[in-house]
Chain A
């Protein structure tokens, strides 16, 4: 019984991997063509992604501010 369950799980895993590979292959040409159409925007997009990444990182790192201290000015 356990062997049958393992076999079924194996088949399902293979199907999922196969679907994921197909999906990836379908998306890649689209992305390439989009990049070719907008070469000048690539650096801007990179900046935007960087901004989103930085924002997400700092939100995760910062503990909730409990005290409201005055920020210094330079």
Chain B
């Protein structure tokens, strides 16, 4: 899902002045956008943009940081995301089933990066259904979606690794792309579980260790310290694994990403506050809630 705060920061961190940033926007959208709106999106993770402003900024981001995947696959992902993000969608499940059926065939053909992205999209569909199945007590469907999601992401990962090794592929696949894919696999393990069962799941904790998530997240944050969502996930898993040193590290990283997170009740876009999430309870009780020595 698009995190506009991070995209605006990534664009700004190229060394652009605000005037240059606004000029680049005006090249895409001649009337430009209000500079106060742009500052607001830069400063506040909870700040929401209008659909149009989001579209302009995402277009600029994609121009400056092009995806390694073919445009046709990216267009399909965008199309699907618009369906998922439409709260008034009359029958999202039917759309997901239809698209899954199409992808089952489509991902067998075409260039390797195209196929990798279609496997990725197929995994997204399964991941998006986990919360719905879990909340409705559909245990069998939940298990199937989780297993399929992991397998589909795994297939995507294998194709990406193959493409990385291939000398024919000109596009460089960056480390963050691999990180995102592994993060989504981890999400398949996590989101299938009820929140109060997440600290006791063997398969989740095994995969967490196997994918080296904590170290990988630290590396991404060293390069892009404004990625609050990643710092928050690092804190989440440090809390679930009862690791006080990592809890402190990721909490500091979260506050570095934006000082608003010093308030544990702060709730950014699409995310509940840390104080309201049971997964952070251990960190709050044992690390964050304690006064400094």
Contact = CB atoms under 8 A, between A and B. Distances in A.
B181 to A, nearest CB: 8
Interface string B34-59: 10110000000000111111000000
A65 B37 CA distance: 26
A5 interface: no
Interface string B68-104: 0000000001000100000110000000000000000
B274 to A, nearest CB: 9
B191 interface: yes
B150 interface: no
B32 interface: yes
B187 interface: yes
A47 B127 contact: no
B229 interface: yes
A72 B127 contact: yes
A68 B87 contact: no
Nearest to B190: A70
A68 B271 contact: yes
Interface stretch (A12-20, A21-29, A30-38, A49-57): A49-57
Interface residues of A, number: 23
A58 interface: yes
Given A58-B48, A73-B184, A67 B195 contact: yes
A69 B131 contact: yes
Given A44-B32, A47-B33, A48-B37, A67 B131 contact: yes
A66 to B, nearest CB: 8
Contacts of A58: 48, 87
B10 to A, nearest CB: 14
B203 interface: no
Contact of A51 (B50, B81, B277, B278): B50
A71 interface: yes
Contacts of A66: 272
Contacts of B184: 72-73
A65 B190 contact: no
B259 interface: no
Contacts of B241: none
B284 interface: no
A55 to B, nearest CB: 4
B110 interface: no
Contact of A70 (B34, B49, B135, B191): B191
A45 B36 CA distance: 11
B1 A72 contact: yes
Contact of B52 (A47, A65, A68, A72): A47
24 contacts: A43-B31, A44-B31, A44-B37, A47-B52, A48-B34, A50-B52, A50-B53, A51-B37, A54-B49, A55-B48, A58-B48, A61-B88, A68-B272, A68-B277, A69-B131, A69-B191, A70-B190, A70-B236, A71-B1, A72-B124, A72-B127, A72-B128, A74-B1, A74-B81
Interface of A: 43-45, 47-48, 50-51, 53-55, 58, 61-62, 65-74
